[in-house]
């Protein structure tokens, strides 16, 4: 028997309507390339989204067209999110840090019609424009005073496009299964793959993000996404924040800069911020070196790669900030798990190992681990296997792929290796391709890196597997010392004694000036392996 409730469609248009009706005066504050302190209200933001929707129609954009963006986190990008998705277009965010060939591939594969780009990406696009056959023109995200001279064909100025348009738009009644946004994976192996998010998935995911044991956003929060809006919709923060009417603080092009983040947090009284470990390393370093504080900050969310204990400890001890560890991926919109605040009654040692885990599945995400035959493994916190997920915001098929991305029994294989314990806490051991297999047994590079990061004078650490004559592979540790630290590699390796199984201890340690990072700020193990292709174990080199 069918239920008898209204069949409202779960679309992002409802987020916009709700925020406009209830939080018209809440603020969005941005740093942009042309304005260090832009400030306006939700009401103005959505009026401008309406103007932009009109402008897009005038440009000939038709429902389903992909509109590409190469832009930092700021209010114009926010307007683009809503103007495109809510008018039936697809907001295709493109990561400008990818290699030019990857950007060309992505734009061509997505068949983007228009590209909206920040002024600083004009030279990048000028070099590629000849090859971007589907693109009808370019819109530069600036005003007429700051329009760059450019050889790009069919160029428009964003502010001029909006200027004469009405501030109301008759938003279409979209079916909730309509595509809202498109984001390509970084493509660390093979070509990037497109994940096409539906309105329904985005809205349900937004509810998931807002849950009390997840981001727990409230109207009095000031939220700073230090995750780029060009990658997985900045973890859905631009959708979640308007639902509760909190202040949205957007850091623009200098989001990797500790000083910029500090000033922004202080000025806007930011209460919660989200980002990958690398940005927190930069922020903490700035605060430490300048003896500065971020008094309003209550919590940070750390995800994208494993969060070392040193980050959690420093945030908490020096700044009174709680760090939540989270896990997810592009194919999961991206929220998978979130580590809630551990009760004060939990003993310190236990709390620490709990917090180093990636947390519990958000309601809406189902997880399992399986062995090589696809058999489910126990949730005992010890058995580890391939992590598979399913749920309404998990990718079923990649954009323009003929085949399903799921296993025969309907699960999405994340490419991660993990444990799950009896209370549902996920522990990511490695990416499948980064696992170190020594004498038939697996060694977790993440655990080794976590320990290395607790040592004095260590700024960053990475562990990769290097071919070994006897054991097939053995772990090699790379350490970036903190400025001025005088590290001894023998002492570093000796410190592992008694902390991890003896056969897990890396066979060698190398001090390096820096580690290679991917376009999303993670340590690039692939580049590391390439850089160390000629490395030989000390004992072998002696032979």
- Applying CB under 6 A, the residues found at the interface with ligand ADP are 185-186, 231-232, 303-306, 325-330, 334, 358, 414-416, 428, 431, 520
Nearer to ligand ADP, 314 or 430 (CB): 430
Question: b/e per residue, 216-233, with b = 16+ CB within 10 A?
Answer: bbeeebbbbbbbbbbbbb
Active-site residue among 58, 313, 432, 437?
A: 437
Nearer to ligand ADP, 187 or 481 (CB): 187
- Is residue 259 within 8 A of residue 280, CB to CB? The reply is no
Using only C-alpha atoms, the chain has a radius of gyration, in whole angstroms, of 24
The minimum distance between CB 520 and ligand ADP, in angstroms, equals: 4
3-state secondary structure of 184: strand
CA–CA distance, 23 with 165 (Å, rounded to integer): 23
Cα–Cα distances (Å) from 255 to 33, 120, 227, 260, 437, in that order, read 12, 15, 8, 7, 37
Nearer to ligand ADP, 27 or 430 (CB): 430
Task: Return the DSSP state at 145.
Answer: G
Nearer to ligand ADP, 98 or 122 (CB): 98
Active-site residue among 331, 447, 449, 460?
A: 331
**Residues present in the chain in total:** 543
Active-site residue among 185, 278, 330, 414?
A: 185
Q: Which helix (H) or strand (E) holds 22?
A: helix 12-22
CA–CA distance, 223 with 243 (Å, rounded to integer): 13
CA–CA distance, 139 with 55 (Å, rounded to integer): 11
CA–CA distance, 126 with 518 (Å, rounded to integer): 24
Active-site residue among 44, 160, 285, 442?
A: 442
The minimum distance between CB 359 and ligand ADP, in angstroms, equals: 8
CA–CA distance, 205 with 197 (Å, rounded to integer): 10
The minimum distance between CB 24 and ligand ADP, in angstroms, equals: 32
The minimum distance between CB 370 and ligand ADP, in angstroms, equals: 16
What are 16's two structure tokens?
């916009």
Nearer to ligand ADP, 121 or 235 (CB): 235
What are 93's two structure tokens?
């965010």
Q: Which residue has the tokens 């090699």?
A: 476
CA–CA distance, 311 with 430 (Å, rounded to integer): 19
> Can 331 be counted among the known catalytic residues?
yes
Non-local (6+) Cβ contacts of 146 within 8 A are: 33, 34, 119
> Can 442 be counted among the known catalytic residues?
yes
Nearer to ligand ADP, 85 or 305 (CB): 305
Nearer to ligand ADP, 131 or 390 (CB): 390
CA–CA distance, 283 with 261 (Å, rounded to integer): 7
- Is residue 275 within 8 A of residue 251, CB to CB? The reply is no
As to burial, measured by CB atoms within 10 angstroms (0-12 exposed, 13-18 middle, 19+ buried), residue 101 is exposed
The minimum distance between CB 439 and ligand ADP, in angstroms, equals: 24
Task: Return the DSSP state at 146.
Answer: G
The minimum distance between CB 381 and ligand ADP, in angstroms, equals: 16
Nearer to ligand ADP, 23 or 338 (CB): 338
Give the distance from CA 303 to its chain's centroid.
Answer: 7
3-state secondary structure of 271: coil
The minimum distance between CB 518 and ligand ADP, in angstroms, equals: 8
- Is residue 326 within 8 A of residue 359, CB to CB? The reply is yes
The minimum distance between CB 194 and ligand ADP, in angstroms, equals: 12
Cα–Cα distances (Å) from 512 to 103, 448, 463, 482, in that order, read 30, 17, 13, 11
Nearer to ligand ADP, 161 or 227 (CB): 227
C-alpha dihedral, 369 to 375 to 377 to 378, nearest 10°: 130
The minimum distance between CB 89 and ligand ADP, in angstroms, equals: 23
Catalytically annotated residues? 185, 331, 437, 442
């Amino acid at each position: 028997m069918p239920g008898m409730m209204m069949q409202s469609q779960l679309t992002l248009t409802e987020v916009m309507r709700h925020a406009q009706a209830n939080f018209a005066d809440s603020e969005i504050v941005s740093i942009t390339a042309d304005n260090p302190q832009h400030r306006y209200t939700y009401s103005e933001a959505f009026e401008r989204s309406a103007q932009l929707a009109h402008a897009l129609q005038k440009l000939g954009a038709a429902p389903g067209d992909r509109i590409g963006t190469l832009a930092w986190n700021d209010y114009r990008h926010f307007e683009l999110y809503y103007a495109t998705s809510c008018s039936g277009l697809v907001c295709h965010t493109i990561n400008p840090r990818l290699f030019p060939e990857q950007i060309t591939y992505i734009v061509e594969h997505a068949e983007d019609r228009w590209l909206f780009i920040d002024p600083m990406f004009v030279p990048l696009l000028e070099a590629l424009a000849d090859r971007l056959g589907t693109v009808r023109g370019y819109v530069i995200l600036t005003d007429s005073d700051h329009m760059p001279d450019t050889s790009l064909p069919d160029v428009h100025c964003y502010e001029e496009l909006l200027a004469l348009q009405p501030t109301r738009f008759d938003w279409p009644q979209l079916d909730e299964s309509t595509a809202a946004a498109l984001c390509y994976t970084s493509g660390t192996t093979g070509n990037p793959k497109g994940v096409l998010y539906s309105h329904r998935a985005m809205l349900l995911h937004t509810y998931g993000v807002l849950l009390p044991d997840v981001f727990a956003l409230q109207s009095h929060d000031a939220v700073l996404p230090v995750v780029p809006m060009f990658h997985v919709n900045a973890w859905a923060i631009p959708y979640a924040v308007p639902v509760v009417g909190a202040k949205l603080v957007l850091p623009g092009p200098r989001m990797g800069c500790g000083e910029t983040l500090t000033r922004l947090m202080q000025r806007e009284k930011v209460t919660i911020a989200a980002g990958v470990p690398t940005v927190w390393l930069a922020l903490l370093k700035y605060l430490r070196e300048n003896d500065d504080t971020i008094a309003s900050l209550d919590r940070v969310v750390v995800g994208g790669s494993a969060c070392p204990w040193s980050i959690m400890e420093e945030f908490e001890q020096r700044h009174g900030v709680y760090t939540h560890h989270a896990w997810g991926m592009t194919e999961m919109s991206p929220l998978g798990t979130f580590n809630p605040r551990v009760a004060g009654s939990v003993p310190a040692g236990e709390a620490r190992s709990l917090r180093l885990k990636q947390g519990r599945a958000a309601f809406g995400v189902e997880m399992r681990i399986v062995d090589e035959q696809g058999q489910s493994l126990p949730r005992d916190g010890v058995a580890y296997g391939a992590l598979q997920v399913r749920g309404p915001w998990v990718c079923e098929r990649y954009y323009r792929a003929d085949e399903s991305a799921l296993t025969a029994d309907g699960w999405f294989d994340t490419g991660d290796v993990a444990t799950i314990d009896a209370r549902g806490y996920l522990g990511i051991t490695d990416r499948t391709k980064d696992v170190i297999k020594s004498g038939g047994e697996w060694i977790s590079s993440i655990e080794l890196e976590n320990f290395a990061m607790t040592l004095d004078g260590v700024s960053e650490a990475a562990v990769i597997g290097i071919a070994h004559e006897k054991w097939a592979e053995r772990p090699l540790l790379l350490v970036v010392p903190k400025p001025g630290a005088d590290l001894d590699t023998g002492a570093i390796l000796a410190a592992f004694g008694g902390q991890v199984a003896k056969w897990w201890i890396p066979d060698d340690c190398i001090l390096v000036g820096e580690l290679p990072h991917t376009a999303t700020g993670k340590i690039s193990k692939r580049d590391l392996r390439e850089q160390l292709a000629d490395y030989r174990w000390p004992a072998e080199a002696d032979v």
